[in-house]
Every structure is written in C-alpha cells, then in structure tokens.
Structure 1
Amino acid sequence: MGLHTLRLATVPMTLSTFSSRLSLKPFSNTLVALGLFSHHVQPRKHFLVRAFSTSAAVQDIPATQASDSSAGKPQWKAAIDFKWIRDNKEAVEVNIKNRNSNANLEAVLELYENMVNLQKEVEGLREERNNVAKKMKGKLEPSERERLVEEGKNLKESLVTLEEDLVKLRDELQHVAQSIPNMTHPDVPVGGEDSSAIRKEVGSPREFTFPIKDHLQLGKDLDLIDFDSASEVSGSKFFYLKNEAVLLEMALLNWTLSEVMKKGFTPLTTPEIVRSSIVEKCGFQPRGDNTQVYSIEGTDQCLIGTAEIPVGGIHMDSILLETALPLKYIAFSHCFRTEAGAAGAATKGLYRVHQFSKAEMFIICRPEESESFHDELIQIEEDLFTSLGLHFKTLDMATADLGAPAYRKFDIEAWMPGLGKFGEISSASNCTDYQSRRLGIRYRPSEPLQTGPKKGKTSLPATKFVHTLNATACAIPRMMVCLLENYQQEDGSVVIPEPLRPFMGGIELIKPKLR
C-alpha cells in the first residue's frame, strides 16, 4: 500500500473500562491503551485512542481537502519567482533534466503566461470600472446616467468572473510549479549516485587478524539488540536496545550535543508529529507510493523523518532581524521512515529501520553566508567522525541524488566491516532559499532607513529570504553499526572509543555476558 497511515479509532467506553492506573484492554481486534480517566465521566463517552489494527471498531475518518495533496487548491503558497524561471528557462530546463525531476516546466510557463495575460485583462476592466465611476460623479442627463449604471453593472459582473478565473489559475500555477526542484551548484557532478565525487577520505580500513562478525551477531552475542521481540511487538525493522547499547546511545547523543554546542549551536528537542504542510514546505512528499513519511490517517499530520522539518518550522512566516543571524540549532528527535522500496543486504539490522534517534544540525543565515556555513557543517561532521576513529569518505553528491530542496549536498560514508563496504552515516545540504520561500522565513537587512520620493517620508529596507542548511551530527543506529563492527575484539568484546567513555560512566569495554 502506497499511503502509510496510523489509524485513529473512536471507541465507545463505559464506566467499567476506566481505571485509576494504566491498563490494556482488548476491544474486538483492537488494542486500546486506557488510563488516568476520571470516574465522573459520563458513560458511553467517546474517546479518541490509538488503534493498531483495521478491525471493525476503527472508524475511517475521511481525509479533508487540506490533507489531500491531489486537491486543485494548494494548502499553501511558495514565494516562487516565476519571472526568473521564465527568463532563465534553458537553465531551469537543464537543471530539471539533470536532477531526474518530473517537474513540468512547459506547463508552468504556459500557466504563467496565461496568468499574466489574465491579470492584464482584470486590471484593464478595473480601470474601465473606475473611469465609469468617475464619470458618474458629474452632472449627467438621466439617460446618460442610466447607460453608465448599466455599463458599470456589466463591468462588475465581468470582473467577478475574471477574478475567479484568475484565482483558479494562480492556484493551478502554484500547484504545478511547486514540483520544480532547487537550482544546483555549478560544481556539483552531473549524473546518478555513481557520478558523485570524493571530496575527502580519512583513515583506512582496520585489518583484522580474526574472523569478524557483523553488528547483528555482535548485538546478539553481547545481548545488546533484540530484533525478534521487536518484530513481534511492532513489525519488521524495529528493535530493542539493551544493556550497554542503551548507554551507548545516550553517550553518543550527549557527546555529540556537547561537541556541537561548543560551536555555538543552540540545543533543541522537537515535536515529532507535524502538519503535512510543514513536511511539504521543507521539500518532502508526505503521500505517494514511495513516500518515506508516515501520515496519520484522517488528519493533516505526519511523523517526522528528521528534525530538519520541525526546526525549519520554528521561524515560519516570520521576519528576522539581520543582527539575529545566523541561527544555529542542534536538535535531538526520534525519526520515523517507511523505507518504502528499500531492499538488499544494506537494509538488514540497524542500517535501515523505521524508528531511530538522531541529532540534526540546522542553520538559518544570510544568502551570502550559506556556502561558508555549508563548509562549517561538513567540517563539524568530519571532526566528530575522526574523533571516533572511523574510516570514512566525504562525497559531493551528483545531481540525480540531491532531492528537491538541496542546492548542494555532501554525504559521508563510513567503512562497515560486517557489510564489507562503505555505508552512509550523514549528509549536509545547503538548501539556499528553497525552504525559506515555502516556509515564509525572511530577514530585514540592517540598513539605514530609505528616504522616499515624498519629502520627509522614510521606509524600511526590503526584506530578503534567508538560506537554510541542515546536516546530520549523529544518526544513532548507523553509528552503532560502525562502532560495534570496527571496535570488535577477538574475544567477542567491543572497545568503547575514548571520547565516549566519560558519557558511559567510565565503561571502556562491552564484554560477553556470563551465561
């Protein structure tokens, strides 16, 4: 099924179901979580609860138009520069082709031309209507006044019709144009993933003198990870962390936060459910056959796949002072991804899962600073992974692997001995003004007040769109893959890298458990 949803059920409750403590009660084939409800609640009251089946108890709530991406009227409007697109048609066309985008540039240009022409027609009718109104202010013969009244009435009716057509045309233009991807940095390699260029390589693969294990076997032998129980409870691609693995996750997060905060980043935790419009504004598709987003059925909400989404929304529809920039955040969240279409050896174990913890960096800055901040984000990532002793390479990702928001993206792939190849552990993207034009994030330059044409009149400098950047500081599951596989010892133990030991309560070694 293409659309991944979390069902919500409205289940009738009676007084007998209430308890002063958390309890689990079956209702038909639906597992319902109840608890902490007052005994004074009237019987037969309906409560909204989570349901984990498609039983008859679940009432399908029709999705509203606001949550239907196929609706003609867009939920939101991006500040797209259509004139720039028209004037740079060839460059935009090449960019769409290089990125393997399905955006329909010809349709956008045709709709824009129609909109411009219709706008001129509307303005012409408005001018005629105003002229008629001016004529009626003078002294007129009754017959002339009657003629002008009739003319004004006809103009008004025509104008109403054209204005309605103009609104529909603008909505259609916006809907079609939102699929156009960001432009691309001129130095980005053209082609698919295989065309990506190595920017930097650090370290070398560790040479083992004993047969190595992958992280699944290590996790089982050291009693660190339980996939079997999680698959029974939640389904495939879920897991329990146990024992030292829990401490290792906390250590990775706390160490990462402490290191990144030294660079002037503000720590955040974020909501993990957001409106689908925010997901779309950040450049992700919440619906479709291959969506990576879990949508909550019957609502306009989704589970986040990255903290980039809620952090991007913090300053939505706002005008920032230039003196407040840059804004630098390091956000912790749980992330949820459907992993639709994923297959192969690289999807086993912790490498590709539906739920995981991640620390994400996010920067809002002036346009002229975004490339230097992109370099800063990459340097932070490389410093973190070097400190952990990983062998990795930084890749300048090719055009077809960028995704719609990214102007340029660098991925870091680390060596995973159990996998026998490099695996992606982070990415850093400069999205320029792609997201800010959709989220409505601007700043006002710190310039002197401008004197207008009228004497003594001053005006504020015009606002500009900010640039946004994001980068992975630490994606827990894949980092665990790297650490377990690269730091395994012949006796089956795993060494904890030195930077993490203070955050592990001094634990230096994960040893096999005595049975």
Structure 2
Amino acid sequence: MIDLRLVREDPERVKASQRARGADESLVDRLLGADAARRAAVKAADDLRAEQKAASQAVRTASKEERPAVLERAKVLAAQVKEAEEAERAADAALREAHLRIPNVVHEGVPPGGEDDAVTLRTVGEVPSYDFEVKDHLQIGEALGAIDMERGAKVSGARFYFLTGPGALLEFALAQLAVTRAVAAGFTPVVAPALVKPEAMEGTGFLGEHDEEVYRIERDDLYLVGTSEVALAGMHANEVLDLSAGPRHYAGWSSCFRREAGSYGKDTRGIIRVHWFDKVEMFSFCAPEDAAAEHHRLLQWEEEFLQALELPYRVVDIAAGDLGTSAARKFDIEAWFPSQGTYRELTSTSDCTTFQARRLAIRHRDADGRPQVAATLNGTLCAIARTIACLLEVHQRADGSVYVPAALRPWLGGHEVLSPGMALTAVAGTSA
C-alpha cells in the first residue's frame, strides 16, 4: 500500500497517478476521509480512556456520600469506552479497505495511457529473414515431438499441454541456464511453493481487481500463484532484514497458474498464453533509495539472458494504465515471433517501491539502526513455455530442424541442432 503521509501531504500527486492509470481519483479523497475519521475515532477513544482512568482514581478517594455518583459515572464511562473502541476498530477497517483500493503511485516519466501507449526504449538484434515459409512454434514443436497440445487438452482442458522429448529437455536446459546465470550474478536459488495463503496474495497486490486471474483452492483457503514473486515476497513478511551489504537477491523457480480471464480468443494456439507454465523469477529486497538502480540491474540481467539465447528483442516502458497494482514502473522485453511478424512479451521487471513491503510488514534497518520499510522488485528471467515458443520460431530451419544457441548446448548434449527423429539419448547427454 502507498504511504499515508504522501496522501496527506501531497494528495494531488496521488490523484495525478490515478489519472495516469485511468483509475478513479475520487478514491484518494475517500482515503483521506477514512484517515481523518480513524484519527478522530482514536482521539475520542483515547480521551474517554483518560476520563475512565480519572474516574477510577476518583472512586478510591471519594467520600461515602460522593461514591454512588462517582461509581455511576465510572460505569457510564466504561460503556462509552467500549463503544468508542468498537468505533475505532470499525474506523481501522474502513481505513484499511480504502487504503488497499489505491494502487502504487507511478514514477515520474512513466508514459500515461493504456496498453497501446507503451514506449519503445531500444531495439536489440536483427530481425531474421528466411528463404522459406516460416512455421509457427506449434508446427515446429509437433514435428520435433516436443509439444503435444491435443493430449494436454484431453487431460486438463484448453490451454494445457505436454512438453515431450526435446521439448521437455529444452525446459530443463532453460531452467539450468537461467538458474546458473542467476547464481553467478549473486542470486540465491529458491524452489518456491506454488500454493500460498491469502495474506501473501493480498500483500503482493494480486487480489482485489486481479482476483479473476487467480486460481483458488477453496477447501484449504489457498491460492495457486501466477508467479513465484508472491511466495518470495511473503517469505520475509513481518521481518526486519539486514540490507547493510546491499540488496538481497533471490531466483525463484515455481510452476505458475493463470486463469487468463478475459483473454478468450487471444493466443489460443500453442504455448504462448497458457494456464500453467514454469518460470524462473528474480526478486530483490533493497532500501527504497536503491530501488531505481536495482530496477535497471534486473532489466540488464534479463537482456543478457535473451542475448545469450540469440533472440532479437525490444525494451518497452509500460504505460501507467497497463501497470499492475503494485508496480510504480515496469519494463517489458518483447522478443520477435516470426510467425506473427511482431514482438511479443517474453519477460518483464517491476519496481514495486515500498508498496508490497508495507502490506507485508517487511523492513530493514537504516544507517542509524532504525527500522524502515523496505522496497521490493521483481523480474522474470525465463518464462519457460513462452521462451521455448520463441526459440523454436526464431531458430527454425527449412528442413524442420532448430538451431541451438551456444549457451544452451551444455544441457543439450552439446548439439548445435535439434532435428525431427533425433535420438533423445544424444540430446540428453552431457557435452565434453
């Protein structure tokens, strides 16, 4: 949640952020009203408790004649304190409800507008040309024996799939490459739970207006995560972190689940937009003053990963209206998909400032040893299914084979090419 002091001291900045997002700016006034009501309720309860304390003391010193009236006054005050405390609890709840409804305040310079208003910052790599009719990743994957959508639908329904043979080996190779590079960059690898409590989902901003995207296990009151960001953020809830040596980095692997509500008819073919996929996610805890620089470091690591896969891409500054609830700024990296003749999102990285940490009570100690709210950031290093789709398309060859980037070869038997009918024992072997 956003800092209440900012709302009190500069409400126009918060309203401007709401306008940039296309969100309801009247929610800011509603929050200010709830804040004022809560402070009034606290003062009323405190004043009555002070009166009650004085009345209790008066009972002990009252004369025999005064005692009945003093006791009656103490009894009335006790009832009034009880009512005031109930009003205080109601005011607390109303304030929290109003507070949770306002998304993070966008950074200065974030483009206003919606999905179509993102700004391209740079384009890297040459878009490949082919002297044959390009196929999409599903055609290539089926010919390789790497993707089976038909049986995925038979077992689990639409937008589920099997990765088979070389497809499964590609998944393991990408996961190994991503984790190995993350560890080399100083990240602690984490295998994160895919089921989390409601507090973790709410704390990271994935409930409320986004709950249609989330799978819930009602019997156990647990949620399937759409990203390991949720578990990684919740891992340090209600803790004070030692960030004296700099940001704390985690690279989380988990399966991810998304209902894709409202996306009917979009990318229904293949494994670009599916209900389940595996992902390696970077997550950082840092001091708020270090967040902007940390955001660019996460973006750099994402770019280096795509460069290692020899994929052409562009970096996009996402418009305010297309940001998630928790993000103050987000950069997407969109890679080239030849079958669509366009760039499509492959990874993203978000600066969530102190928004998630306030909800989850995650703090750090400043230079004077005082607890302060931390900042959180996240960045996808590899969304594996979509990355496989892009690899197959970009590196396809006329004979149906697929070129293997050098960075992946150590986990694919050292082979430079994956071909239809290729022996899996050769692909799965280790390189010399």
TM range (shorter): over 0.9
Shift, 1:129, TM fit: 1.8
Pair 1:186-2:108 in alignment: yes
| Per-residue CA distance 1:422-478 (angstroms, 9 max, x = gap) | 11000000101000001111112242xxxxxxxxxxxxx431011000000001111
Pair 1:267-2:175 in alignment: no
Q: Which amino acid aligns with 1:231?
A: A
Q: Which residue of 2 aligns with 1:503?
A: 411
Shift, 1:372, TM fit: 0.8
Shift, 1:164, TM fit: 0.6
Q: Which residue of 1 aligns with 2:146?
A: 224
The RMSD of aligned alpha carbons is 1.7
Q: Residues 108 and 287 (structure 1 numbering): CA distance in 2 closer, same or farther, change over 3 Å?
A: closer
- Report if aligned partners of 1:315, 1:441 keep a CA contact under 8 Å in 2: yes
| Per-residue CA distance 1:14-59 (angstroms, 9 max, x = gap) | xxxxxxxxxxxxxxxxxxxxxxxxxxxxxxxxxxxxxxxxxxxxxx
1:364 to 280, 285, 298: 285
More helix by share: 2
Shift, 1:165, TM fit: 1.3
State how far apart, in whole Å, the 2-side matches of 1:362 and 1:427 are: 12
List aligned pairs for 1:116-515, cutoff 5 A: 116-138=39-61, 140-285=62-207, 291-323=212-244, 325-447=246-368, 461-513=369-421
Shift, 1:331, TM fit: 0.9
Q: Which amino acid aligns with 1:166?
A: E
Q: Which residue of 2 aligns with 1:22?
A: none
Q: Which amino acid aligns with 2:152?
A: A
Q: Which amino acid aligns with 2:40?
A: N
Q: Which residue of 1 aligns with 2:430?
A: none
Q: Which amino acid aligns with 2:300?
A: Q
2:22 to 100, 110, 116: 100
State how far apart, in whole Å, the 2-side matches of 1:81 and 1:268 are: 30
Shift, 1:112, TM fit: 1.8
State how far apart, in whole Å, the 2-side matches of 1:491 and 1:505 are: 21
Shift, 1:193, TM fit: 2.0
| Structure 1: unaligned runs, 5 residues or longer | 1-77, 448-460
Q: Residues 287 and 83 (structure 1 numbering): CA distance in 2 closer, same or farther, change over 3 Å?
A: closer
State how far apart, in whole Å, the 1-side matches of 2:4 and 2:407 are: 50
State how far apart, in whole Å, the 1-side matches of 2:5 and 2:247 are: 29
Which structure has more relative contact order (CA 8 Å, sep 6+)? It is 2
- Report if aligned partners of 1:338, 1:354 keep a CA contact under 8 Å in 2: yes
State how far apart, in whole Å, the 1-side matches of 2:208 and 2:63 are: 64
Q: Which amino acid aligns with 1:395?
A: V
Give the share of equivalent positions with the same residue, in percent.
Answer: 37
State how far apart, in whole Å, the 2-side matches of 1:191 and 1:351 are: 25
Q: Which residue of 2 aligns with 1:59?
A: none
- Report if aligned partners of 1:276, 1:286 keep a CA contact under 8 Å in 2: no
State how far apart, in whole Å, the 2-side matches of 1:300 and 1:122 are: 35
State how far apart, in whole Å, the 2-side matches of 1:513 and 1:141 are: 103
Partner of 1:470, secondary structure, is strand
Q: Which amino acid aligns with 2:185?
A: K
State how far apart, in whole Å, the 2-side matches of 1:141 and 1:221 are: 99
State how far apart, in whole Å, the 2-side matches of 1:345 and 1:158 are: 59
Shift, 1:287, TM fit: 8.1
Shift, 1:249, TM fit: 0.9
Number of residue pairs aligned between Structure 1 and Structure 2: 421
Partner of 1:507, secondary structure, is coil
Shift, 1:96, TM fit: 1.5
Q: Which residue of 2 aligns with 1:70?
A: none
Partner of 1:323, secondary structure, is coil
Q: Which residue of 2 aligns with 1:82?
A: 4
| Per-residue CA distance 1:255-301 (angstroms, 9 max, x = gap) | 1111121110011101111112211110102787x611110022320
Q: Which amino acid aligns with 1:107?
A: R
Which is worse superposed, 276-285 or 115-124?
115-124
Partner of 2:378, secondary structure, is strand
Partner of 2:279, secondary structure, is strand
Q: Residues 363 and 88 (structure 1 numbering): CA distance in 2 closer, same or farther, change over 3 Å?
A: same
State how far apart, in whole Å, the 2-side matches of 1:240 and 1:396 are: 34
Partner of 1:198, secondary structure, is strand
State how far apart, in whole Å, the 1-side matches of 2:347 and 2:365 are: 33
Q: Which amino acid aligns with 1:506?
A: G
State how far apart, in whole Å, the 2-side matches of 1:508 and 1:343 are: 37
Normalising by structure 1, we get a TM-score of 0.79
State how far apart, in whole Å, the 1-side matches of 2:367 and 2:42 are: 35
Which is worse superposed, 226-235 or 186-195?
186-195
Partner of 1:443, secondary structure, is strand
